[in-house]
Amino acid sequence: MSIGYVWNTLYGWMDTGTGSMMGASVGARLQPITHHLAHPDTKRRFHELVCASGQLEHLRSIQAIKATAEDINRVHVPEHLQNMQRISALPAGGDAGDGVTMLGNGGLEIALLSAGGAIELTRKVVQGEVSSGYALVNPPGHHAPRQGALGFCVFNNTSVAAAYAREVLGLKRVAIVDWDVHHGNGTQDIWWQDPSVLTISLHQHLCYPANLGYTTERGEGDGHGYNLNVPLPPGGGNAAYRYAMEKVVVPALHAYQPELIIVGSGFDASIMDPLARMMVTAAGFRNLARTIIDCAKDVCEGRIVFVQEGGYSPHYLPFCGLAVIEELTQVRTVADPFNDFLTTMGGDELLTAEREAVDSAAKLVRDIR
C-alpha cells in the first residue's frame, strides 16, 4: 500500500511579517528582518530534502483542497473564520489576534489549504486509498483554540481533520498525539468535553503557552480522562521522549483503541530549535515515529496520519522530518549530517526528573476506557 504525502507550493508563501516574532517596530526598536522565526522557508527546506533525497519516489502525492467553511466551523466559532477573511483581505494582511500570528494578504487561502491538506490525507487513509502518510502543511494549527488564532496557528488542522473523520467519514474514536514541544492548548480546548477524540500532548513544561499543559488538565464532563498532558522538564532528549512514548502514549492508545491516529508532528523539540530547550535528535524523532507506527498497526490497522506542526530550525528540521518520512516508507536515503556533532551534547540518558514527570502522567492512563 502506498504512503500519502501532501505539499502545496503555497505553503511556502505564508507571509509571517517583517519581525523576528511580532511585527517590526521602530518605537520598540525591533528591527525588520527577512526571516521571522516561523518563516515558511523552514518547511519548504523540509519538502526540498524529501525531493532531493529521493523519498518522493516512494510517496504518493496527494493534492490539498481548500477546507470549506463547514470544515472549519466544526471546530472553530464562525466569527473566527469571518475575522480571518477580513484580515486576509487587507492590503498587507495583519495581526490575526495575538500579536505574533500574522496573516498576510491572501493568507486565508493558504490556511484553508493547510487544513484541507490534513483533511485530504485523512480521507484517503480512512478510505484505504493509502495506508498512512505525511501532510507537510503550513501554517501549523495546534495552538488555535475554538475561539481564534494563536501562536502562529490559524486553524487547528489536526482537529479539523479529526472532526471530518468523525462527522463525515463516520469514525467513532480518533486519537490526536501531539509531540510538538509546545503544549497543544488549542487541541485540548476543542475536545475538552468530547470523549470521541483522545488528545495527548508531549511538551516542554511551561514553554508555551503560559500556565497550561499540566497533568491536572484532564477534560470535563464526558470528556474527563480523555485529555492527557505529559509536561517534560527542559533539557529532555531522546531518552525522555522514548520513555514517555513507552509509559504513556502507547498504553493510552491501547486502552482507547482509536480507529485512526493523527500525529501533530512538530520538530521544535529538536536540539537545534530556537524556541524551546529540548534535546531530541533526528534519531529520536525516528524512534518516536517507529513506535507510534507500530502501535497503529496493533490498534487501528495501521491508519495513521502525520500532520506538520511547528519547528523553527531551518538547519535541522529537514533532517528530523526526513527521519519520520523514512520510517513511513521504510527506505533509508540520507544520513543525519549533524549526528556526530549533536550526540556529544547529551539527551540519551533518562534523568530522574524526567522519569518522575512521565511516571506522574502514566498514572492517568488507567482512566481511559
Residue 225 backbone zone (phi > 0: left; psi -120 to 50: alpha; other: beta): left
One-letter amino acid at 171 equals: L
Asked if residue 347 has pLDDT above 90, the reply is no
d(C-alpha 111, C-alpha 186), whole Å: 16
Beta strand pairing status for 3-6 and 260-265?
unpaired
One-letter amino acid at 16 equals: T
Q: Which of 258, 72, 79 is nearest to 160 (CA)?
A: 72
Average pLDDT, the chain: 97
Q: Which of 190, 224, 185, 218 is nearest to 203 (CA)?
A: 185
The gap from C-alpha 278 to its chain's centroid, in whole angstroms, comes to 16
End-to-end Cα distance, the chain: 31
Residue 200 pairs in a beta bridge with 177, 228
Q: Which residue's entry shows cell 491501547?
A: 254
d(C-alpha 25, C-alpha 319), whole Å: 34
CATH number of the domain bearing residue 123: 3.40.800.20
pTM of the entire structure?
0.98
Residue 172: what are its φ and ψ, rounded to 5°?
-95, -30
Tell me what pLDDT residue 369 has: 87
Tens-digit pLDDT profile for residues 120-131: 999 999 999 999
Percent helix, strand and coil across the chain, each rounded to 5? Answer: 40, 15, 45
Tell me what pLDDT residue 1 has: 72
Q: Which residues touch 120 (CB under 8 Å, ≥6 apart)?
A: 6, 62, 63, 64, 65, 135
CB burial string 142-174: b at 16+ within 10 A, e below: bbbbeebbbbbbbbbbbbbbbbbbbeebebebb
Q: Which residue's entry shows cell 471546530?
A: 75
d(C-alpha 103, C-alpha 90), whole Å: 10
d(C-alpha 219, C-alpha 213), whole Å: 12
Question: In the annotation, is 143 catalytic?
Answer: yes
Specify whether the CB–CB gap between 231 and 184 falls below 8 A. no
- Reported as a pLDDT band with limits 50, 70 and 90, residue 34 is confident
Asked if residue 185 has pLDDT above 90, the reply is yes
Q: Tell me the CA distances in angstroms from 346 to 241, 285, 324, one per residue in order.
A: 13, 15, 21
The gap from C-alpha 345 to its chain's centroid, in whole angstroms, comes to 26
Number of domains in the chain: 1
**Sign (positive/negative) of CA torsion 107, 110, 114, 116?**
positive
Tens-digit pLDDT profile for residues 53-74: 999 999 999 999 999 999 999 9
Tell me what pLDDT residue 346 has: 86
Tens-digit pLDDT profile for residues 330-343: 999 999 999 999 99
What does the block give as the cell for 102? 500574522
Q: How many residues make up the chain in this entry?
A: 369
Asked if residue 310 has pLDDT above 90, the reply is yes
Domain boundaries, position 362: 3-367
Mean pLDDT, residues 172-185 taken together: 98
What does the block give as the cell for 326? 523514512
Tens-digit pLDDT profile for residues 197-232: 999 999 999 999 999 999 999 999 999 999 999 999
- DSSP letter (8 states) at residue 180: S
d(C-alpha 312, C-alpha 270), whole Å: 9
Which of 143, 182, 183, 203 does the annotation list as catalytic? 143
Residue 84 pairs in a beta bridge with none
Q: Which residue's entry shows cell 504518493?
A: 60
